[in-house]
Structure 1
């Protein structure tokens, strides 16, 4: 009986301490497991799945071509994305420096994908993030945000969806990519 009282009293102290301590949730934004994000600077609004099981974020890209420009590795690819805000299908060909490449091994063998740096808007903030390029046409979400990106955003509530809207403009804060965080 004495042991139980001591244990129960300990819980009271623990809970009182937690109630008075500031938490990360008081400061960090909370995102659902699916959010709307916009690809910047075009403002193309797409559904993004926040997936803590993936390390690197991934973007739906078609006709991916690797090439060299001025001795540097570049990637040319096409975006064919439906803008969630307008319903319009946006087709845009981009040429970006290849940041790195990622190798994935699975049951189907090995896959090598180029990774580029791009800006996305979530909530009212623009984040420069790494995206592996892959044809995600067979996937429900054209944009997958992995742990590297989620770690910059704030908190992930896996029971919720669409907690924020992408509301960025020229005055929005921008979080640049930090190569030291890899």
Structure 2
């Protein structure tokens, strides 16, 4: 039925020049799916990332989270243990990053404070440096959740699709550095 609706609406949208429906004229995917493969850089481990338009800030699975002082600045040390989607092996890596900010998350279970750090992910052929709150997501299906601040740079999300592109970031990949980012005020707080 879904395909019949697409087929019925396609001529109307085509006449308006809006016939993307998840694909460009050349057949390359336009919108990302609600789940995509990404690699955590520079580690290169491939993970499943859920694109969540209901979240503002992205989140990454982390364990053994510790804050410490380094030359007068607060840093965060943490372990990322995930299944590498490319190999099927469970792998872990210890990271140390400057604390970007603290985030207070309010939900049904009360409020929780989380550290936020800048991390890099490869999606498609581009590396994105983004804010990630760190939390133990062991009980979640997806170790990485991408919120609206990140999705704003990625483009539209097609909730009927998954895995529309593979992460392929080599040494010549485009890097979207966080300090060059501007936010659309309409993405919310």
Q: TM-score, normalised by structure 2?
A: 0.82
The residue aligned with 2:60 is: 59
The residue aligned with 2:77 is: 76
Distance 1:20 1:84, change over 3 A: closer
The residue aligned with 2:161 is: 160
Distance 1:79 1:140, change over 3 A: same
Q: Is 1:101 paired with 2:102?
A: yes
The residue aligned with 1:151 is: 152
- C-alpha RMSD of matched pairs (Å): 2.4
Counterpart-to-counterpart distance in 1, 2:154 and 2:182:
17
Structure 1 residue 88: deviation in Å? 1.6
Structure 1 residue 180: deviation in Å? 4.5
Counterpart-to-counterpart distance in 1, 2:183 and 2:155:
16
Contact 1:51 1:145 in 2 (8 A): yes
Counterpart-to-counterpart distance in 1, 2:183 and 2:43:
27
Counterpart-to-counterpart distance in 1, 2:154 and 2:52:
13
Distance 1:119 1:172, change over 3 A: same
Q: How many residues align?
A: 169
* CA displacement, residues 120-151 of structure 1 (integer Å, 9 cap, x when unaligned): 00001110111000000000000000000000
Q: Is 1:124 paired with 2:122?
A: no
The residue aligned with 1:49 is: 50
Structure 1 residue 15: deviation in Å? 6.5
Contact 1:121 1:168 in 2 (8 A): yes
Counterpart-to-counterpart distance in 2, 1:35 and 1:16:
27
Structure 1 residue 181: deviation in Å? 2.8
* Structure 2, unaligned runs of 5 or more: 1-11, 185-189
Contact 1:32 1:160 in 2 (8 A): yes
Distance 1:158 1:71, change over 3 A: same
Structure whose CA Rg is larger:
1
Distance 1:161 1:172, change over 3 A: same
SS in 2 for 1:152: helix
Structure 1 residue 20: deviation in Å? 8.4
The residue aligned with 1:19 is: 17
